[in-house]
Homo-oligomer: A and B are copies of this chain.
Amino acid sequence: MNWSTIPSLAALRAFEAAARHQNLSAAARELNVTHAAIAQHVRALEQEFGESLLVREGRGVAPTDAGRQLAAGLAEGFGQIGEVVAELRQRGAERPVTISVTPGFAAGWLMPRIGAFWAAHPDVQISISPATTVIDLRRDGFDVAVRYGDGNWPGLSVELLTRADYTALAHPDLIAGRRVTCLDDLLDLPWLLDTQVMERRRTIEREGVDLDQVKVTMLNTNELALSAAVSGLGVTFQPRSLVERELKSGQLVALCALQEQGVGYHIVTVPGRTSAQLDTFLKWLRAQKPQSVSASE
């Protein structure tokens, strides 16, 4: 389509309203402008087409033949546009808040808390997608992600939710009678590591431990590692904020904290993308932050 041959859309819209109401003032009210604005647009169109479109008729106006023809076509066109816009808004309102999280965060942090949210906001639909790969919030259409890292994701709006506080953990029976103050006290126990998260290995090695000198049991996923630790099969390393349930129930005990590198779990959103439902969820999420970020309960 050659848009240069088409007059201003605002003028066409103004004319359509005027022709429909047969009344410039009514059209002006509909479009929230003054009657003068409508009159100007109509004049401009008539100039453009070299033909009268509206003629004054007593108190009001009446479309000419050409005007009637134009108005009918415009009504249909603008109607179509209005419809698809309304559909999109509808779709947006109905769409659940989509959240991307790691499986570990979902199981260890979000699931223990989300029940309270559901109870408080039964009207807000939530869709939680656990995924190990880093997704592109924009491309994949997620409203919010909780990401582990240092908070440096350019182009996104980032906010620390909770520090990771990587900690060595084990079943109480496994360490019965031991005094554990640092990793060196655990070198003779089996260490449970997953094959996927390299970050974890690096965190441990930063403590000065040579993993080759430890009896390491590799497990396919971190969930398995955690599960094995609960079963008393060895020592696991998890963000303390994700194992609060196990600590509270006594399934695991914290043995020693690993060095923090200023990393943690962050709320990541696309700047400018917002909705009522999303705002509700984000507000709740922020309320879940520990009082002081450095202190875990």
- Given contacts A51-B141, A51-B273, A89-B49, whether A81 and B4 have CB atoms under 8 Å apart is no
Asked if B88 and A55 make an inter-chain contact with CB atoms under 8 angstroms apart, the answer reads no
Complex Cα distance A265/B77, Å?
Answer: 45
A58 at the interface (CB under 8 A from B): no
Bound-state CA distance A22–B79 (Å) is 25
Which DSSP category, helix, strand, loop or mixed, fits chain A's interface? helix
Interface core residue of A46, A69, A77 (most chain B CB under 10 Å): A77
A122 close to chain B: CB less than 8 A: no
A residues 131-151 with Cβ under 8 Å of B? 136, 138-139, 141
- Nearest chain-B residue to A71 (Cβ)? B84
Taking CB atoms, residues of chain B closer than 8 Å to A5 are 85-86, 89
Q: Which A residues from 68 to 98 make CB contacts under 8 A with B?
A: 69-70, 72-74, 76-89, 91-92, 95
Q: Contact: A9 with B10, CB < 8 Å?
A: yes
Asked if A274 is at the interface (CB within 8 A of a chain B CB), the reply is: yes
**Complex-state Cα separation, A7 to B82, whole angstroms:** 10
Which of the four size classes fits the interface of chain A? 35 or more
Q: Does A270 belong to the interface (CB within 8 Å)?
A: yes
Is the C-beta of A262 less than 8 angstroms from some C-beta in chain B?
A: no
Q: Do A1 and B78 touch (CB < 8 A)?
A: yes
Distance (whole angstroms) from the CB of A283 to the closest CB of chain B: 16
A274 near B50: Cβ-Cβ < 8 Å: yes
Find chain B residues with CB under 8 A from A52 CB.
138-139, 141, 270, 273
* Interface residues in A95-154 (C-beta closer than 8 Å to B): 95, 136, 138-139, 141
Contacts A/B (CB < 8 Å), 11 sampled = A1-B78, A7-B85, A43-B272, A46-B273, A47-B272, A50-B275, A52-B270, A66-B92, A69-B87, A70-B88, A77-B79
Beyond the given A73-B85, A77-B84, please list 6 additional residue pairs across the A-B interface where CB-CB is below 8 A.
A3-B82, A51-B95, A55-B136, A66-B88, A69-B88, A80-B80
Residues of A near any B CB (own CB < 8 A): 1, 3-7, 9-10, 12-13, 30-32, 43, 46-47, 49-52, 55, 64-66, 69-70, 72-74, 76-89, 91-92, 95, 136, 138-139, 141, 270, 272-275, 278
